[in-house]
A and B are shown apart, each in its own frame.
Chain A
Amino acid sequence: MKADRAAIEARFSGPLGAFHIDVAFTAPGYGVTALFGPSGCGKTTVLRCIAGLNRLSGKLRVDGELWQDDASGTFLKTYQRRIGYVFQEASLFPHLSVRDNLLYGARRAKEDGPAPISLDDAVTMLGIGHLLDRAPGALSGGERQRVAIGRALLSRPRVLLMDEPLAALDRMTKEEILPYLEALRENLSIPIFYVSHDMSEVERLADTLVLLDKGRVAALGPLSELQSDPALPLLRMPEAAVMLEARISAIDEHYALTSLDIAGGTLVVPGRRGSPGKRCRIRISASDVAFVRGPVPETSVLNYLPVRIVSITPPSGDDPQLNLVAALGEDGSGARIVGRITRKSRDVLRLEPGAEVYAQIKSVALLS
């Protein structure tokens, strides 16, 4: 099973503008690893180093293959690395048709063993079948980026590198493309590295998060763990939230409600959201969680779950609220959620780490 195989071991260091890049990480050989951080933190540079488009000193091993090693003087040129790269701008070749753009890499990678996806499958998955004979200039921004993704996939990559592929697109187009990226994650066996500064994209796509700050790795781990880590800045962001994996367990036809199993509890969301057994991602925002002591009151809020408080941390800056992390389940063994409380609430409700209370979750967003 691929789960234990490390796909990428990377170590890069060198100057980047005003500061120094010094990163080292090992990322899994499956799923989506997001490189996340503020603008200028070096995330694009790290991605370009993996592709060989930039060169810093260091070492890089992908899928057991050494791509860069300063000790032995190894440095594969970009064209020798089995990558697929999606740039922020689609950068299609204007002198080639959509079909020839898609096949540009495929033709040059013929001897590299089996393709992760065939032309027909890629075209179907990305919904670009009707565009094949057009010129890139005649496509919309979203269509162009979908073709660029297909072109990268067809070059038989061992790893797909995506550098803010949605950043240049408007909101509507982003929403149009995100389902295709989710489909990639579900259907492809190769790991994806995804650079972004937009947490909402990361929440929908990423399994693993590499948090970068000023050229260094601030944290690396499963997305939801990092989101609920009181030591990290994610919890202090105004839009703090957790992404959780869920499975549809039941549909209440009478009230049109869907029950979702998550680790340590069950949530109910309005609407018929699919058939039982379907897996999905949900997002619980810190601002949608309240904490309650004592017996469950009568309330219109459907989701009431026992939790155990893990940590209460002081605010950053002049935010008057405290950040609270709680684990679902009476024994606190379930998934972690995050919330915000005032100091007054903490004192009145006697909230402290280890306390067993109820979390009232006002809304749950289904991400996929």
Chain B
Amino acid sequence: MPEFEHLWSPIKLTLELATLTTILLLCVGTPIAWWLARSRAPWKEAVAAVVALPLVLPPTVLGFYLLLLLGPNGPGGTIGSLFGLRSLAFTFEGLVIGSVIYSMPFVVQPIRNAFEAFGDRPLEVAATLRASDWDAFWSVALPLARPGFLTGAVLGFAHTVGEFGVVLMIGGNIPGETKVLSVAIYDYVETLQWAQAHVLAGGMLLFSFAVILSVMLVEKRLGRIGR
């Protein structure tokens, strides 16, 4: 079926984007979640609100600012010029940056909740058992927060797969570079290629259902073991 062959490119691109974004989000989001969970700074909720902004902001607004940020006249353009790029907008790298920001709350919130759920006691116990803060973080906090990490990773991945507005604003529609699934579906519908749209849309439907179901099952199971 030659007419479906070019469907693979947006799927592959989307999976690459979502995987990379999730990995980056776990690296960036974990310290933020830890700080939000443990800090006593009075302004920490303001930081939490900034992290949560993408939840309520229209993706086009976020995309607009990202466009300015990543474009040739913004800091993104400056950074891009170091690598010989005129701008980070309309590149895969730009998409990754945008996705990290856009999906941040979906990763930070569950991890923060998990860190808060076990309180101070396990860390105090670890300290009395000669574990330094860093040691206790790896040997106690991370394992205890595992359900939160799983939820955060899955939600971050799924949310990145499903993003559309931000991609349209900062990514455009460059095949193999920024043309991800959601944009491809839009494209096929615009050009009345219903068969291809059906395959991609139906696939997304199944994928999303599987994601939600597995998160719920995993949380239920870990919750039972953890307590």
Contact = CB atoms under 8 A, between A and B. Distances in A.
Contacts of B128: 51, 53, 78-79, 83-85, 105, 152, 155
Contact of A91 (B125, B130, B131, B226): B125
Contacts of B124: 53, 78, 87
Contact of A94 (B132, B133, B139, B227): B227
A151 B131 CA distance: 13
Interface string B113-143: 0000000011011111111110110011001
A104 B127 contact: no
Nearest to A112: B130
Nearest to A86: B128
How big is chain B's contact interface, by range? 20 to 34
Nearest to B125: A91
Nearest to B121: A91
Interface in A95-122: 95, 104-105, 108-109
Interface of A: 51-53, 77-79, 83-85, 87, 89, 91, 93-95, 104-105, 108-109, 135, 137, 151-152, 155
B132 A79 contact: yes
Contacts of B136: 79
For the residues of B in contact with A, the DSSP-based class is helix
B144 interface: yes
- Listed from nearest, the 8 A-B pairs whose CB atoms lie closest are A105-B129, A85-B128, A78-B127, A108-B130, A95-B143, A79-B127, A91-B125, A109-B130
Interface string B7-37: 0000000000000000000000000000000
Contacts of A89: 121
22 contacts: A52-B127, A78-B124, A78-B127, A79-B127, A79-B130, A79-B131, A79-B136, A84-B128, A89-B121, A91-B121, A91-B125, A93-B125, A93-B144, A94-B144, A94-B227, A105-B130, A108-B129, A109-B130, A137-B227, A151-B129, A152-B128, A155-B129
Given A77-B127, A109-B130, A93 B122 contact: yes
Nearest to A154: B129
Contacts, number: 67
**Interface centre among A79, A91, A151, by most B CB within 10 Å?**
A79
Interface of B: 121-122, 124-133, 135-136, 139-140, 143-144, 146, 225-227
Nearest to A148: B125
Contacts of A152: 128-129
B127 A87 contact: no
A79 B225 CA distance: 28
Contacts of A85: 125, 128
A75 to B, nearest CB: 14
A204 to B, nearest CB: 25
B135 A108 contact: yes
Given A85-B125, A93-B122, A155-B130, 20 more contacts: A51-B128, A52-B127, A78-B124, A79-B131, A79-B132, A83-B128, A87-B121, A91-B125, A94-B226, A95-B144, A104-B129, A104-B131, A104-B139, A105-B128, A108-B131, A108-B135, A109-B129, A135-B225, A137-B227, A155-B128
A135 B129 CA distance: 19
A210 B154 CA distance: 54
B124 to A, nearest CB: 6
Looking at A78, A83, A94, A155, which has the most chain B CB atoms within 10 Å of its CB?
A78
A327 B128 CA distance: 44
A94 B136 CA distance: 14
Nearest to B130: A108
Nearest to A52: B127
A91 B135 contact: no
A326 B17 CA distance: 85
Most-contacted residue by chain A among B130, B132, B135 (CB, 10 A): B130
Contacts of A51: 128
A78 B121 CA distance: 13
A52 B144 CA distance: 24
A291 to B, nearest CB: 49
A85 B124 CA distance: 10
A277 B145 CA distance: 55
B156 to A, nearest CB: 23
Contacts of A77: 127, 132
A44 to B, nearest CB: 12
A79 B122 CA distance: 13
A91 B127 contact: no
B184 to A, nearest CB: 42
B226 A95 contact: yes
Contacts of B121: 87, 89, 91
Contacts of A53: 124, 127-128
Contacts of B126: 79, 104
Given A79-B131, A105-B130, A108-B130, A87 B226 contact: no
A153 B1 CA distance: 70
A83 B133 CA distance: 16
Contacts of B133: 79
